């Protein structure tokens, strides 16, 4: 039990800025055990953001409310994954050699491509959160809680990527902590993500009996996990081909990208069911 608590604490300390006051050894063994709890971290972040939306919808219009929710979302992660998104954009959009792209990703400075990619991503995410708000008739209804699935499945895919693709820098860099991640831990993280998805859908069904919401629930269960895997795999494979593997920055970029894809799917589910 103590190892499970240690692993959970390590996941929250690494992926969020939530106050977890526990001394955790920063070793590959602990970090690899912690990946099982990555979807849990995503769920907690999603619940906090959704709960904040529940309060803001009564005092603000959808646009400023969506911006505040997105700001809270970024703050809860400390901008960790957004930093990876910008570094990956600077490198991959530079069209340089593999060695030069890896050097660019190590540079702490952000280039023009990274800034533009960050602005466009945040704009798209804010518009999607606003759309969820508006499609719920201007009130943060039960359906809006489906956005919790975005940070859950994006963090599961990071675990899958650690297992599936090689490390671009070998034994160097932060990604090296997860070198040799077992398929068992990848599978356990997937089971946790599925269980969280089932809980979200069950809560939706318990609060309403409409057929529309039932369709949304089934769509969320069947479409979102598959889309997260399919889109993430295509993107990760392309990154790996160009970089000779993945890095800590690309894991963060994949997280941001899949969060956005899942938000798009949630909006489509709300609009067409």
Q: What is the pLDDT of residues 19-57, one digit of tens each?
A: 888 788 878 898 999 999 999 999 999 999 999 988 888
The average pLDDT across 211-232 equals 73
Q: Give tens-digit pLDDT for 120-165.
A: 999 999 999 999 888 876 555 666 778 899 999 999 999 999 999 9
Distance of CA 198 to the CA centre of its chain: 18
Give the three-state DSSP class for 61.
coil
Q: Phi and psi at residue 157, in whole multiples of 5°?
A: -65, -30
**Residue 180: predicted pLDDT:** 83
Among residues 115, 146, 151, the alpha carbon closest in space to that of 132 is found at 146
Greatest Cα-to-Cα distance within the chain, rounded to the nearest angstrom: 56
Strands in 136-184 per DSSP E: none
Cβ neighbours of 210 (radius 10 Å)? 12
**Residue 95: predicted pLDDT:** 82
d(CA 26, CA 208): 45
The average pLDDT across 231-235 equals 96
The DSSP code for 165 is S
Confidence of residue 211 (pLDDT cuts 50, 70, 90): very low
The average pLDDT across 227-246 equals 95
d(CA 159, CA 181): 9
Domain boundaries, the chain: 2-272
Asked if residue 81 lies in contact with residue 148, where contact means CB atoms within 8 angstroms, the answer is no
d(CA 212, CA 30): 43
Asked if residue 239 lies in contact with residue 88, where contact means CB atoms within 8 angstroms, the answer is yes
3 by Cβ neighbours in 10 Å (0-12 / 13-18 / 19+) ranks as exposed
Asked if residue 96 lies in contact with residue 79, where contact means CB atoms within 8 angstroms, the answer is no
Q: Phi and psi at residue 246, in whole multiples of 5°?
A: -115, 160
Asked if residue 45 lies in contact with residue 77, where contact means CB atoms within 8 angstroms, the answer is yes
Cα dihedral value 148, 149, 152, 157, nearest 10: -150
Cβ neighbours of 230 (radius 10 Å)? 11
Q: Is the pTM value of this prediction over 0.85?
A: yes
Checking if the pLDDT of 115 tops 90, the result is yes
Retrieve residue 225's tokens: 């996990």
Asked if residue 125 lies in contact with residue 118, where contact means CB atoms within 8 angstroms, the answer is no
């Amino acid at each position: 039990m103590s190892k499970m608590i240690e692993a959970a604490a390590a996941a929250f300390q690494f992926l969020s800025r939530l106050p977890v006051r526990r001394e955790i050894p920063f070793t590959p063994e602990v970090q690899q055990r912690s990946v099982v709890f990555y979807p849990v971290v995503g769920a907690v972040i999603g619940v906090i953001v959704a709960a904040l939306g529940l309060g803001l919808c009564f005092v603000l219009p959808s646009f400023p409310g969506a911006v505040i929710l997105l700001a809270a979302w970024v703050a809860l992660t400390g901008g960790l994954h957004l930093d990876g998104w910008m570094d990956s954009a600077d490198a991959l959009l530079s069209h340089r050699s593999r060695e030069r792209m890896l050097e660019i990703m190590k540079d702490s400075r952000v280039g023009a491509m990274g800034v533009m990619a960050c602005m466009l991503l945040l704009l798209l995410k804010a518009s999607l959160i606003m759309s969820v708000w508006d499609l719920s008739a201007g009130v943060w209804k039960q359906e809006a809680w489906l956005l919790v699935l975005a940070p859950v499945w994006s963090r599961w895919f990071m675990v899958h990527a650690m297992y599936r693709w090689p490390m671009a820098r070998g034994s160097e860099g932060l990604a090296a902590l997860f070198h040799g991640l077992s398929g068992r831990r990848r599978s356990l993280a997937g089971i946790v993500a599925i269980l969280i998805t089932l809980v979200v859908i069950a809560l939706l069904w318990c609060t309403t009996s409409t057929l529309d919401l039932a369709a949304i629930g089934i769509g969320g269960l069947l479409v979102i996990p598959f889309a997260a895997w399919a889109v993430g795999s295509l993107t990760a494979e392309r990154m790996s081909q160009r970089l000779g593997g993945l890095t800590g920055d690309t894991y963060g970029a994949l997280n941001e990208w899949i969060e956005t894809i899942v938000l798009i799917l949630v909006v489509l589910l709300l609009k067409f069911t």
